[in-house]
Amino acid sequence: MSTQQLQTPEQHQVSPDGCYTLGQFDSSVCQELADRATALKGGATPDAKPGKALGLLFLNPSLRTSASFQRAAARLKLELVNLNSQGVWAMESEEGAIMDGTKAEHMKDAAAVLGCFVDVLAIRAFPAGVDLEQDLKDPVLHGFAKHAGVPIVNMESTLWHPCQALADWATLDQHQVPKPAKLVLTWAWHPKPLPHAVPNSTLCMAAQRGMEVVVLHPAGYQLHPEIMAEAHVLAAANGGSARVSHNRAEALDGAAVVYAKSWGSLDTWGDAEAETAKRAPLGDWCVTSKQMPQGAKFMHCLPVRRNVVVSDEVIDGPRSLIIDQAENRLHAQTALLERILS
Ligand code: CP
């Protein structure tokens, strides 16, 4: 696998005023957004933008992101264009493609048209999960950013889920988790190989917040080396650290936060049979109360497979932050849209 496959940090800013990844913003901006999210949660009045329009384009399913963006739009008095994959034409993303197959519309046309109707366009586009090199280019987000002519907000792409990360930053603040505290991002077993957007974003968010981050996973489930490199840069700039561990007891010792997430192996990307065989012996990678350190908070972005990724006892326990994380999506996105549209 090449280590030069990802966009460089400068290129992350796929739209001059939009949001592709939190890492494109200074830490001070992230903190301002998290603080504003907390203020909005506490009852501050949103800075409404009547006459402006928000486009939502979901090429994959969503519960939290969809509901929270719709509510954020209502709070900001935005007009909404809400589209999903069932309601739009199948889209071609390749430049110069001869479109004689099943795809009826080119992304560049769809992007330019939607850009005529809205002031900011938010997009969800998961990886196809077939060709790693192609997925690492995050083609839909970058294609829309190139052709829409309006700021783009990433509602979860191949590589990043910045709105989840911003909500999680605010959640950590609201629960007074100290900046230098230890956050363990732990891999968990799941019946399917899942995308890397959330683990990438959690790692980099916690590093940028200045935390001691440990990525805990079994051998063969490493995050992309360039994502780890970016986490190291963000950690170094913000007084934090980032490292990998394969040892559950060692990694979890002293953790203030256990953030569970499953993700697929980069080594078997697109090969379902090989991935299934690889994870078959890893079924005990489930977060139970036995693994939870004394006093540690539990986090997960949802949706979650209960009693597979995490036991009911942990996720329903008093130190689980999952509902706050989800609620903070509304406030974080309201804060983000206020800023983009100001
Ligand atoms: N966490 C999150 O993005 O949830 P949805 O996939 O339901 O939007």
Q: Do 266 and 222 touch, CB atoms closer than 8 A?
A: yes
| 316 and 332 together in one domain | no
How close is the Cα of 2 to the center of ligand 1, in Å?
30
What is the Å distance from ligand 1's center to 99 Cα? 32
Residues 206 and 80 reside in one and the same domain: no
Task: Classify residue 4: in a domain, yes or no.
Answer: no
Domain assignment of residue 9, yes or no: no
pLDDT > 70? residue 112? yes
Distance 18 CA to ligand 1 centre (A): 20
Percent of the chain exceeding pLDDT 70 equals 95
Euclidean distance between CA atoms 191 and 121, whole angstroms: 33
Model confidence band, residue 17 (pLDDT cutoffs 50, 70, 90) = confident
Does residue 166 lie within any of the structural domains?
no
- The domain of 263 spans 176-320
Ligand 1 centroid – CA 63 distance (Å): 6
Asked if residue 202 and residue 240 are part of one domain, the reply reads: yes
DSSP string, 100-113: -SS--EEHHHHHHH
Whether residue 281 is preceded by a cis peptide bond, meaning omega within 30 degrees of 0, is no
* Rg, C-alpha atoms of the chain: 19
Q: Are residues 33 and 70 in the same domain?
A: yes
Residues 58 and 150 in one domain: yes
- The reported pLDDT for the residue numbered 129 is 94
- 196 and 288 inside one domain: yes
- Average pLDDT estimate for 299-305: 98
- Asked whether residue 13 carries a pLDDT value surpassing 80, the answer given is no
Residues 93 and 215 placed together within one structural domain of the fold = no
Same domain, 137 and 185: no
Tell me the pLDDT tens digit for each residue of 119-151.
999 999 999 999 999 999 999 999 999 999 999
Q: What's the chain's average pLDDT?
A: 95
Shared-domain flag, residues 154 and 188:
no
Instruction: Write out pLDDT tens, residues 147-190.
Output: 999 999 999 999 999 999 999 999 999 999 999 999 999 999 99
- The answer to whether residue 54 scores a pLDDT higher than 90 is yes
Residue among 64, 153, 154, 330 whose CB has most ligand 1 atoms within 8 A, to mutate? 64
Beta strand segments in the chain, E: 53-58, 79-84, 91-92, 105-106, 120-124, 152-154, 182-187, 212-216, 241-245, 257-261, 297-299
Closest residue CA from atom 3 of ligand 1: 65
> Are residues 187 and 315 both part of a single domain?
yes
Residue 138: predicted pLDDT = 93
In one letter, which amino acid is 23?
G
8 A C-beta contact, residue 99 and residue 92: yes
Q: What is the pLDDT of residues 238-255, one digit of tens each?
A: 999 999 999 999 999 999
Q: Are residues 62 and 153 in the same domain?
A: yes
Residue 168, domain member (yes or no) = no
Separation of alpha carbons 302 and 322, rounded Å: 7
Q: How many CB atoms lie within 10 A of CB 331?
A: 29
Q: Is the pLDDT of residue 11 over 60?
A: no
Q: Is 274 in the same domain as 146?
A: no
Which sign does the torsion angle of CA 33, 36, 41, 45 carry? negative
User: Measuring from atom 4 of ligand 1, which residue has the nearest CA?
Assistant: 64
CA of 245 to the centre of ligand 1 (A): 27
The CA 101 to ligand 1 mean position distance, Å, reads 31
| pLDDT of residue 100 exceeding 80 | yes
Inform me whether the pLDDT recorded for 2 exceeds 60: no
* Distance between CA atoms of residues 210 and 146, nearest Å: 32
Binned at pLDDT 50, 70 and 90, residue 1 comes out as very low
Judged against a pLDDT cut of 80, whether residue 273 lies above it is answered with yes
Residue 278 included in any domain: yes
The confidence score (pLDDT) of residue 6 equals: 62
Q: Give the chain's domain count.
A: 2
Which protein residues touch ligand 1 with a CB less than 6 Å away? Answer: 62-65, 156, 164, 301-303
For residue 130, being part of any structural domain is answered with yes
- Given a cut of 80, whether residue 325 has pLDDT beyond it is yes
Which one of 70, 156, 157, 327 would you pick to mutate in the ligand 1 pocket, going by the greatest count of ligand atoms within 8 A of its CB?
156
Residue 330 pLDDT greater than 70, yes or no: yes
The CATH number given to whatever domain includes residue 301 is 3.40.50.1370
The answer as to whether 10 is a domain residue is no
**Partners of 57 in the beta sheet?**
83, 123
169 in any annotated domain: no
- Is the per-residue pLDDT at 3 higher than 90? no
Size (the chain), residues? 342
